Amino acid sequence: MEGESYPWLAVPRIGSLVQDILNDPPPGYHLLSKGVLIGEDCIVSSRAEIVGPAVIGPRTEIRVGAYIRENVLVGASCVVGNSTELKNCVLFDFAQAPHFNYVGDSIMGKGSHIGAGVILSNLKSDKSEVRIKDSRGLDLPTGLIKFGSVLGDGVEIGCNSVCYPGTVIGRGTTVYPLTGVRGVIPPFSILKTDGTVIARRKDGNRD
């Protein structure tokens, strides 16, 4: 993934990255089924469905009712839970999507967590190109019709929030429940339901 100017440019490369790992598995990984590689001590419910190509890291838990389909890379010690759907995405180590989530064409950073019902939407209603925008006038084309979100390390998103296509959330940021999230949210912030952004110190407290 190195060498790209912006993190969302890695999204179209996820499939080839997963395939490279399948072609040359790391030590301790084995095939669960065709095109599905899992690490040691990975727990996969018999009532989950995984459609490869996919790579699931060690000690990760895939719970009842999870649906993983095509071009998914999940790191170590992650949780993919009930009625959660993953598609063309990366979950770094310790990331959690535990309840009723959709993660499409997205990247979840290390230790990030999305609450019950959180959706990382990846397609605009008019099917036009996804652009990255913020309140300061940033407007960057991505060249992508399908692109969801990039969540930095340690991001926490409250229940039943929706991240619209092209959302980028900086590391250490918390999003209140029932929030519509769009554009670029700074690192170490608190995003309230009304759209207000409050800075916080890196120790987790408000400034």
Of residues 7 and 179, more confidently modeled: 179
- Please count the other Cβ atoms lying within 10 Å of the Cβ belonging to residue 32: 16
Catalytic residues: 99
Contacts of 62 (CB under 8 A, 6+ apart): 42, 43, 44, 45, 48, 50, 56, 68, 80
Judged against a pLDDT cut of 60, whether residue 37 lies above it is answered with yes
- What's this model's pTM, rounded to 2 decimal places? 0.92
pLDDT digits (tens, 9 = 90+) for 94-127: 999 999 999 999 999 999 999 999 999 999 999 9
pLDDT digits (tens, 9 = 90+) for 146-162: 999 999 999 999 999 99
Question: b vs e for 128-156, b when ≥16 Cβ sit within 10 Å of the residue's Cβ?
Answer: eebbbbeeeeeebebebebbbbbbbbbbb
The pLDDT of residue 205 is 55
The answer to whether 100 and 85 are in contact (CB under 8 A) is no
The CATH-assigned architecture of domain 7-199 is: 3 Solenoid (2.160)
Contacts of 177 (CB under 8 A, 6+ apart): 115, 158, 159, 160, 161, 193
SS3 90: strand
* Residues facing residue 139 across a β-bridge: 133
Q: What are the structural domain ranges in the chain? A: 7-199
| CA nearest to 152, candidates 205, 200, 102, 109 | 109
Amino acid identity of residue 33, one-letter, is S
pLDDT band of 200, cuts 50, 70, 90: confident
8-22, 119-133, 164-178, 191-205, range with the lowest pLDDT: 191-205
Residue found by looking up tokens 């519509």 in the block: 180
Q: First-to-last CA distance in the chain?
A: 34
Averaged pLDDT, 52-71: 97
